Amino acid sequence: MLITGARTVDGFATDFYVRDGVFADPLQAPPNVRRVDAAGLLALPGLVDLHTHLRQPGREDAETIATGTLAAARGGFTCVHAMANTTPVTDTAERAEWIRQTAAAQASCEVAVVGAVTKGLAGEELADLEAMAAGGARVFSDDGRCVADSLLMRRALEFAAATGAVIAQHSQDPRLAGPTACCHESHVSRELGLDGWPAQAESAIVARDVQLAELTSGRLHVCHVSTAETVDVLRWAKARGIPVTAEVTPHHLLLDTPLLASGDTTYKVNPPLRTTEHLEAVREALADGTIDAVATDHAPHAASDKAKPFPEASPGMLGLEQALSVVIDVMVNTGRMDWPTLAERMSYTPARIGRVADQGRPLAIGEPANVVLVDPARRAPVDPQTSASLSRNNPYRGLDLPDPVVMTVCAGRVAFNRHPGLVPG
């Protein structure tokens, strides 16, 4: 396939000849090659998500490896990190290998498997991190739950220091709120009569963990940063040279606490949606690099798990298909961030954090052909019914957002296409 006339983020018009999974020299393309006219489109390196819940095994009614990775390809992602809170939990090398093999047969993009930090995500005993690392896992996380025990977190980071792995922490102190906490603690939660999580439930854990990262030299990655206080802690830690990276979700960049007044449980998520001053802080931190990456926390849930009173409904929202749309609107279209920085935050840097060798590579001859063609000007109201996900908990439904992805090429294969000029074959 020969993609002609696309612009790169640096502003150059380039042709891409995709052959045998890599970019080859366009001058060597045969005359009868399949052609895609990409004039007017932007070529981004394939996006990499550090934080995806694929739900398989165990909750195939909410998502599968096939449907979740198709949603990823529709969103421009060529790699997702599959979180470990499956049923059963991905806490052994065998379970990690099962996901790898299922993905190899069924996925539309690369799947990097995240192993659990603790057995059964119970927070009591380390899982067999060594065996999972030997099988290829580079990221370990109890995401959905916080590794609250300080000594266990220290041991996990010691393992990371010894092996080059990274511990991705869901920073939310479970002892800083009651069992019915379900939103951000603020005047809005008080008006709605809901129990809230204080912002400090996040930043207190991050403050502890960056010090453990300093103590152990183990690499810490902070999942879904949502508060201004966490940003302050990260700035302090990075200034000290502590090995910490961080991500922010599209929903924490765009959506705020007052949405909860609708009572719609789609907006229930952990960590919760915050107030404007927090949104401004995480946007600024993403722009200046204090927050290294965007990650979706794509969390599909069956309708029955959301159709409950707010405190009991499952937390989580979809993210893969609108992540790029949100980042374009909130960060690029407002002048907060330029396109090369978007490519850093959504491809190059997450690939480096997750250590996925074939992702986040330059769009250059000899490199793996992972590329997404986007039309930055295209917009459309979000229609959850057209989603590839099996779930419908889409917090962006009805919003007029960029609808940029035209084609996603993953390892040389067309994983998603709506370019009228490309005939399948």
Which amino acids are annotated catalytic? 297
In the set 46, 115, 144, 250, which binds ligand DOR (CB under 6 A)? 144
251 binds ligand DOR (CB under 6 A): no
Q: Which two tokens stand for residue 126?
A: 């380390």
Distance of alpha carbon 161 from the chain centroid: 24
Rule CB under 6 A: which of 2-21 touch ligand DOR? Answer: none
Least separation in angstroms between CB 114 and ligand DOR:
12
Least separation in angstroms between CB 390 and ligand DOR:
14
In the set 49, 91, 142, 143, which binds ligand DOR (CB under 6 A)? 143
Q: Which residue is nearest to ligand DOR (CB)?
A: 316
Least separation in angstroms between CB 99 and ligand DOR:
15
85 binds ligand DOR (CB under 6 A): yes
In the set 102, 216, 245, 270, which binds ligand DOR (CB under 6 A)? 270
- Which is nearer to ligand DOR, 54 or 327 (by Cβ)? 54
Rule CB under 6 A: which of 378-417 touch ligand DOR? Answer: none
- Which is nearer to ligand DOR, 282 or 406 (by Cβ)? 282
- Which is nearer to ligand DOR, 168 or 330 (by Cβ)? 168
Site string for ligand DOR, 313-332 (x = CB under 6 A): --xx----------------
- Which is nearer to ligand DOR, 170 or 208 (by Cβ)? 170
154 binds ligand DOR (CB under 6 A): no
In the set 41, 49, 50, 53, which binds ligand DOR (CB under 6 A)? 53
- Which is nearer to ligand DOR, 55 or 208 (by Cβ)? 55
- Which is nearer to ligand DOR, 172 or 417 (by Cβ)? 172
Task: Kindly report the number of other CB atoms within 10 A of residue 370's CB atom.
Answer: 32
- Report the interface residues with ligand DOR, using CB under 6 A: 53, 85, 143-144, 170, 269-270, 297, 299, 315-316
